Structure 1
Amino acid sequence: MRELRGNQALCEALAQEMANDPRVFVIGEDVAAHGGVYRVTENLLEQFGPDRVIDSPICESALVGAGVGAALVGMRPVVEIQFTDLITIAMDQIVNSAAKARYVHDGAMHVPMVVRTLNLGKGSVYASQALEAWFTHVPGLKVVMPTDPHDAKGLLLSAIRDPDPVIFFESKALYAMRGPVPSESYTVPFDKANVCREGSDATVVSWGSTVPMAEEAADRLTAEGVSIEVIALRALVPFDRQTVVESVCKTGRLVVVHEAVRRGGFGAEVVASIADSDAFEHLRAPIMRVANPGVPVPHSAALHKFALPSVDDLVAAIRRTMSYD
């Protein structure tokens, strides 16, 4: 099968669905003439014209508001927010308009809108936050985080076709990652996690940019005779609780890793799902979380190790949970 980079897979998903459904359009800063900061919308302007690929002013509240309005009257907008940090400017439109529409109209109106945004990860204290947990707390929103090019395309197609608003978090690492991607249109379900690797000694749950980290940690520990099961969540809402519970029932140990701040991060929800499930009585060790300890991500690359989780951090956490018998 051919291989694409993550940004190419996302672009292909947009192009195929725009060709398939005339209601789909793209709006955002630099998405048209420039083709997107990371080339996710490259050549879409040439294919579909300025009425469907729209360069917006630098005003996130306005472009998301335009998306909500268009969705309410039957369109299927894909709104791009260049960096996750900038989504804060559009919180009212997302949280109080898009998320509430189906409820306040008793199902008569809904908002089939996708908000694509980027967790940059590092490089700027103002553009490196991972804020996905905020949106999991809002009824009416779905929260999706692709890990690889195959899932990026299939999940984006699922998001565009969904009848409700979807917050679609991408990562810079995903854009450069290469992987097999079918040429045809296909969907990937939100509510089924990907068991990347089966194991018997401990379960590692991750999502987004930390999945490759989990796989690398599993590779290291395999050499020490430790068998790690790696689960990549495709979505946080809906959350595939059952796959995690079944895995922990088997392994008896759980480590959760995410890029976001530990306090109030979605990892706490994963942990709680084990605490009130049948898996709890199978635990053989305390559950571990590996995450940002609660600091802004600094500009300085030399300081990133103090803010962002690393493979070494994850390996240490797994070793710690393995030390309990």
Structure 2
Amino acid sequence: MRRTSARFKLVSAVAVTTAVAALGGVTAAQSAAAGTAAAPLAAGTPTGFGAGTTGGAGGSTVTVDSADEFIDAAESDGPLQIRVTGTIELDDMADVTSDKTIVGVGTSGVIDGSGLNISRADNVIVQNLTFRDSDDDGINVQYSTNVWIDHNDFTNPNDGALDIKRASTDITVSWNHAYDVDKNMLLGHSDSNASEDVGKLHVSYHHNWFDGTTQRNPRVRFGDPVHVYNNYYDNVSSYGVASTEDAGVLIEGNYFEGTDDPYHLGEASSDEGSIVARNNHFVDSGSGEAGGSVASIPYSYSLDPASSVKSIVTAGAGVGHV
């Protein structure tokens, strides 16, 4: 990985103060000195399957602007809130451990050259970052639970923008903007991984802008239910959603524009799953292929009218809109 000459050491809430920016007028060090934790860094709260995610809330807050600092913070033990300012240039996927919040500052936070690997972790928030030109995935999530991926931009990854796999579950993917992406969002990596994935891969995708992406918005294996609602599909060139290998996907309240194949059953050599589709809005698009049954969504949620989703999502998705 491209690294600076000095490595960033996390030792205690007080020692880390030189890297901490003011948050609501109070630094993490001042909070620690007063015996209280820093205020939560992430804006808003997740809904859907990832609703229980709190990230690094309760931990100190640090500001990083180099690969060294970012990697050491993301890999550290214990809860931590990480503010990213400027471009972090990575040569390899950076590991993210449990109880982390990673948030870009303003519109300046960029992860360039490679991406994030959230593996065997619990309770992670990634918000308001641009992921560009990764040599692998923008974000890879595997063997992880309670993850919230929110208000990020994804562009030009070598592989997937956001892949979720290997028994990961209880995840919300919300208000992201993906553009110049072929293999966008994969859910479940292999037809042969049923032993790990059945009963897992519960993910909510809502208010995302799939902006001229090609495919996998998402492509789903095994997860049932998976909830795809209030997303804007904008001239998606190959297909929107594919449900395969006994997956169950509820597709509702989405806006499909210029998308010939909004959703279908099966994909390539993968067997069919199930799709229940309702209350979607179509403009210059196909009608989609649905069939089978999907398990009940186990949480309450508010659904925007499908006809309003384009304006809502384009005004609010991506970096700078938290």
TM-score (norm 1): 0.31
TM-score (norm 2): 0.31
| Greater RCO (CA < 8 Å, at least 6 residues apart) | 1
Higher helix share: 1
